[in-house]
Amino acid sequence: MNEYYVYIMSNVSRTLYIGVTNYLERRVYEHKQKLTEGFVKKYNVTILVYYEETNAVDAAIEREKQLKGWKRKKKIDLIESVNPEWKDLSKDWLDIA
């Protein structure tokens, strides 16, 4: 069974980036290594602050769209409901800073 993730990355200024992937560890690594041009690299969003898992790609894409449509306050409330200190949830996954 496939797994899909909707995730929120941030930086020290709490800029938010919402994405979807089928391989969360790889995608977080790409963020941390700044391998993606554009927003990710420009704003240095390297801290995984939130993620959800589903086994349906359509559900993951729909949830990503839903979260992107939310006001910033609602997104922050979601993050803080599970990660009130905005810790990097991936810090123990990879051997990189």
> Could you tell me the CATH number of the domain that includes residue 33?
3.40.1440.10
pLDDT in tens, 43-84: 999 999 999 999 999 999 999 999 999 999 999 999 999 999
Domain membership flag for residue 36? yes
Look up the domain containing 78 and give its range.
Answer: 4-82
DSSP secondary structure of 33-61: TT-STTHHHHHT--EEEEEEEES-HHHHH
For residue 78, is it within any domain?
yes
The answer to pTM > 0.85 is yes
Element (H, E) at 17: strand 17-21
Contact 47, 88 (CB under 8 A): yes
87 located within any domain: no
With a cut of 80, say whether residue 26 has pLDDT above it. Answer: yes
* pLDDT given for residue 96 in this prediction: 55
Residues above pLDDT 90, as percent of the chain: 81
Does any domain span residue 92?
Answer: no
Number of structural domains in the chain: 1
Which tokens hold the place of 6? 């909707």
Q: Which has the higher per-residue pLDDT, 65 or 39?
A: 65
Q: Tell me whether residue 89 is in a domain.
A: no
Q: Residue 70 falls within a domain, yes or no?
A: yes
76 within some domain: yes
**pLDDT of amino acid 37:** 85
- Does residue 20 form part of some domain? yes
Mean pLDDT of the chain: 93
Task: Count CB-CB contacts under 10 A for residue 21.
Answer: 18
Could you tell me the two tokens for 76? 């922050």
Task: Assess contact for 29 and 82: CB atoms under 8 A.
Answer: no
